[in-house]
Structure formats: C-alpha cells, structure tokens
C-alpha cells in the first residue's frame, strides 16, 4: 500500500517490518490428594503478550499496529496479529486448565471434571495447545468418563464426554457460549501387530450448538476497544453441527504411519437471513510418515494435509467451518502467521492443502538442526475471499531451518529462519486483505500492491523451571 495508507493504519511508513518479543510464563501445578485423586492446573502468567511494534524502535512505539503496550488480542503464534490502536490490557493471568482426575474404585473407570484440553490424534482439530511450543488450543469445560476393557493382548477404550464452550479465544473470534450434550469415542489398541503398536479410533459429536458462532471484524479504531472489537458477536449462531473423526496410527521402533480425518455438517442460523446449510463436505485431514534412522538423524518425516475451502458465492458453506487448529505446529511463518491474518481466523491450515518434509540431525550432543520445506496450495480457487473472484491453485513454498541448542537441562534456545516464495495467489490474497483492512477502518485506498518475499528470523528461549526444583 502507499506510504500514506500505511501511516493511516499506524505504521511509520510502508517499508516497516515488525519487531517484537512474545512472552508467556506457563505454570502447571498439581495437587495430589491421594492415589486416586489429583487436581491439575495450567496457568498462563503474561498470557502470550506482545512487546513491540512496527516502528524503527526495536520494541515499537505506542501508535503502532502492534503496540508496545500489551494487549491480549495481539497474539503471535497462530493467532491474529492485526488492527490498529491496541489497548493496555495485558491479559496478565489466565487459568487455561483446572481439572480433577479421579480413578474410580472397583475398576469402574476414570473421571476428569473441569476445564481441560481436548486432544485427539495428530491434533489437526482437537488440540489442547498444552505444550510450550503451541498457542491457543482447544480447551473446554468438560465432564469425561473413560473405561478400558481387555481384549486378549489388546484393549478397547470407551470415552464419554459432555462439554460446555465458554467464549472464544479472543475478541476477534467472537464465539459465545455453547454445548454438545454428549459425545463418545471408541479406541482400539494392540501393542503387537507385526512388531508394532496399532491404534484405531473414532469419535462422534451428534449435536453441537453455539451462540455467536461467527464474527465479522470491522473497525478497530473506536476509543478504548481492542483491535476489531467492533466485530459482531451475535446474530450468527451454530444451530446444530455433527462432528466426527477417524484415526489410525501404526508405530514401530523404526518408523510410523499415522492419519486423521475430521468432518462436520449441520446448520448455521443468521439473523435476518435465515438458515445456512453447513455441507458435509467440510472435511480436513492429514497423513504423516516418520522414519527414525538413528544417530545422527533423529527423524526424517513427510506429511500431507488438506482443509476444504468455501466458494463465497455458494448458497451453502461447503468448507471453512472446521480448519486446522492454531496449536498444530506446521511452520513458523506461512501457516503460523500469514494465513490466520489473511482470513482473519485463528487457525493454521485454512482453505489450503500442503506437503511438507523435514528432518532433525544432531550436530553434537547439545546441538541439532531441523530443515523443512513446505509447499502450499489453495483448495478453493473460486471466490475464496471477499473481493477476490478467482486465484491460481499454487500458493507458495516456504523454506525454513531451526537450530536447537540444549544449553542446560531445562534450558533450550531455538534460532529459526524462514522465507516464503509466494505465488501469484498469495500476493492477491495479501493485497485483498490490505484493501479490506483499509476499507474497514474507513481509509480511502490509493493503491495496494504486494510483491515482496516474506521472511522471518526468530529466537525462542524455553526455560522449563520444574527442572530446577528436582
């Protein structure tokens, strides 16, 4: 965009890069009351806060797209990082999880009650984001009952859950309260199938309802409100949704094959418009192959993933209702930051499919290097985005590398570099997103053109403080 348009949105000029630091202190205390009862919690102190901005200063100034003042809606890893005039709301303390784990007497099973992560399979949709390399994640207020039954040398596990969804991840998602009444999962595990461990599972949520399911980010320039807090948080309700999944996972000491599929269908109710069908073509899936060669190669892997997109001119939602969870780690730039900001959805893979290959090689005992290549494509190319009639299939290629230094037990330093070689379609989507942002903030566009090569350089310091209290 032009220099003046950039200034109107809070940048110094149209050549600004964003420099910032992202901090989270995550505590995971637990209280063991007895052999059968444990209370576990996960607390975020400084909840993924952003320090920085898009000025010439290292940590930014106040009137920037990313403020030096803290805002819970200015997130980085897989979430929205956009909108001018953030507010001084640090999101200082967040109880992510707090649940009681109870082993029932007389071998009756296991119960978990409280706010807890929802993890399943590879984690493309149901992903609690519990590990320190993830963000956001699927956390629900849940009653869970689990019971395993022996089947020879194998086992069959039955899981029954009932959930309440309480608000969304941020003001941008705008999700309201919801519930699913009851859902069930069945998991078969055999520890010795041709020398490997085989797991086959599936779950079904027959009925999910959620108020204020969708939001439409508008102006974020109103005094005292977070970016895009003008988003509608009512009037778009998930009337009912059926959600299902299938999983197969086979692993030996030398290799692993795993695949997961998620599908959904139902109805969304929009005030003033009536019901919109959510087609059962809303499907996402991923498959991965891993090989463990041994020193110095820790792992060599390849993965393919796919998320159905939507033609906005269609009368039904053919895709885009379910998408990859932002806590599912694919890369550090394209799907981690660019795609969520383009589509304004806290996500990872959205209206896209991709292939990626990576490996980790140990250079010395304390030092390892992980190169990766991701090739991405647009799934829906007709009317995929407001103001875009059509785009080409090829999205772009990302090349990145991560150098990991195990400095000390409990202290890891990652140095990450990545570059995206965009196709014409990615340029088009970025230009459309910029134009829509200008329009939403009542700024007259005087031309938007994107022809850059996005890159990122990151440092990630992880300190596991529990290692120092042993």
Q: From CA 269, how far away is CA 211, in angstroms rounded?
A: 9
What's the pLDDT score for residue 211?
Answer: 79
Going from N- to C-terminal start, the domains of the chain cover 3-468
- Tokens standing for residue 47: 């909840």
> Taking phi first (over 0 means left), then psi (-120 to 50 degrees means alpha), and beta for anything else, what does residue 466 get?
alpha
Q: From CA 332, how far away is CA 357, in angstroms rounded?
A: 14
**What contacts 199, CB < 8 A, 6 or more positions away?**
187, 188, 189, 247, 248, 249, 250
What's the pLDDT score for residue 149?
Answer: 96
36: preceding bond cis by omega (within 30 degrees):
no
What's the pLDDT score for residue 67?
Answer: 37
Contact 318, 310 (CB under 8 A): yes
Give this prediction's pTM: 0.86
What's the pLDDT score for residue 387?
Answer: 85
What's the pLDDT score for residue 25?
Answer: 81
Q: From CA 356, how far away is CA 354, in angstroms rounded?
A: 7
The distance from CA 375 to its chain's CA centroid, rounded to whole angstroms, is 19
Within the chain, how many helices (H) and strands (E) appear?
3, 21
Q: Is 5 helix (H, G, I), strand (E, B) or coil?
A: helix
Query: To which H or E segment does residue 7 belong?
Result: helix 3-8
Instruction: Please name which of 29, 207, 40 lies closest in space to residue 113, comparing C-alpha atoms.
Output: 40
Q: What is the pLDDT along the chain (470 residues), one digit of tens a residue?
A: 566 666 565 555 566 566 667 777 888 899 999 999 999 998 877 665 666 554 444 333 433 333 333 333 344 433 444 443 333 344 567 788 999 999 999 999 999 999 998 999 999 999 988 777 776 788 889 999 999 999 999 999 999 999 987 644 433 344 567 889 999 999 999 999 999 999 999 999 999 988 776 544 333 333 333 333 333 445 678 899 999 999 999 999 999 999 999 999 999 888 777 888 999 999 999 999 999 999 899 999 999 999 999 999 888 899 999 999 988 999 999 998 889 888 877 789 999 999 999 999 999 989 999 999 999 999 999 999 888 999 999 999 999 999 999 999 889 999 999 999 999 999 999 888 878 777 766 667 676 777 688 898 988 888 888 777 65
- Tokens standing for residue 229: 């807090």
Q: From CA 11, how far away is CA 2, in angstroms rounded?
A: 11
Contact 111, 208 (CB under 8 A): no
Instruction: Please name which of 416, 286, 401, 302 lies closest in space to residue 352, comparing C-alpha atoms.
Output: 286
Counting every residue written for the chain, the total comes to 470
Angle at 459 between CA 297 and CA 398, to 5 degrees: 65
Q: From CA 275, how far away is CA 130, in angstroms rounded?
A: 36
Q: Which CATH number fits domain 3-468: 3.40.50, 1.10.3470, 1.10.10, 2.40.160?
A: 2.40.160
């Amino acid at each position: 965009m032009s220099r003046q348009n950039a200034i109107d949105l809070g940048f110094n000029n149209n050549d600004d890069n964003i420099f910032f630091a992202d901090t989270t202190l995550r505590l995971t205390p637990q209280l063991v009351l007895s052999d059968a009862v444990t209370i576990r919690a996960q607390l975020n102190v400084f909840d993924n806060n952003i320090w920085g901005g898009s000025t010439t200063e290292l940590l930014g100034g106040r009137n920037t797209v990313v403020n030096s003042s803290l805002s819970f809606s200015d997130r980085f890893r897989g979430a929205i990082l956009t909108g001018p005039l953030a507010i001084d709301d640090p999101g200082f303390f967040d109880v992510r999880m707090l649940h009681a784990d109870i082993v029932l007497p007389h071998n009756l099973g296991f119960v978990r009650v409280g706010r807890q992560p929802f993890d399943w399979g590879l984690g493309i949709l149901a992903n609690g984001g519990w590990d320190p390399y993830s963000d956001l994640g699927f956390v629900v207020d849940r009653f869970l009952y689990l019971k395993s039954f022996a089947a020879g040398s194998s086992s069959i596990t039955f899981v029954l859950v009932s959930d309440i969804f309480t608000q969304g991840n941020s003001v941008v998602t705008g999700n309201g309260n919801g519930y699913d009444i009851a859902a069930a999962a069945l998991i078969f595990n055999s520890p010795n199938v041709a020398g490997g461990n085989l797991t086959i599972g599936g779950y079904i949520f027959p009925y999910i309802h959620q108020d204020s399911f969708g939001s439409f980010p508008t102006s974020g320039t109103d005094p005292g409100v977070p970016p895009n807090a003008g988003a509608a948080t009512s009037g778009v309700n998930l009337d009912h949704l059926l959600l299902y999944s299938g999983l197969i996972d086979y692993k030996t000491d030398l290799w692993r094959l795993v695949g997961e599929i998620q599908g959904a269908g139902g109805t969304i109710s929009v005030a003033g418009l009536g019901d919109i069908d959510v087609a059962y073509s809303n499907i996402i899936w991923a498959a991965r192959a891993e090989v463990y060669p041994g020193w110095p190669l820790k792992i060599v892997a390849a993965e393919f993933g796919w998320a159905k997109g939507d033609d906005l001119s269609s009368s039904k939602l053919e895709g885009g209702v379910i998408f990859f969870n932002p806590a599912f780690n694919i890369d550090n730039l394209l799907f981690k930051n660019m795609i969520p900001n383009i589509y304004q959805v806290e996500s990872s893979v959205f209206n896209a499919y991709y292939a990626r290959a990576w490996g980790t090689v140990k250079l010395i005992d304390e030092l390892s290097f992980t190169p990766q290549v991701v090739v991405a494509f647009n799934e829906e190319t007709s009317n995929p985005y407001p103001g875009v009639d059509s785009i080409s299939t090829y999205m772009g290629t990302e090349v990145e590398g991560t150098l990991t230094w195990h400095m000390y037990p409990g202290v890891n330093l990652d140095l990450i570099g990545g570059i995206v070689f965009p196709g014409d379609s990615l340029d088009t989507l970025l230009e459309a997103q910029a134009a829509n942002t200008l329009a939403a903030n009542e700024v007259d566009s005087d031309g938007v053109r994107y022809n850059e090569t996005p890159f990122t350089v990151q440092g990630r310091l992880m300190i596991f403080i529990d290692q120092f209290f042993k």
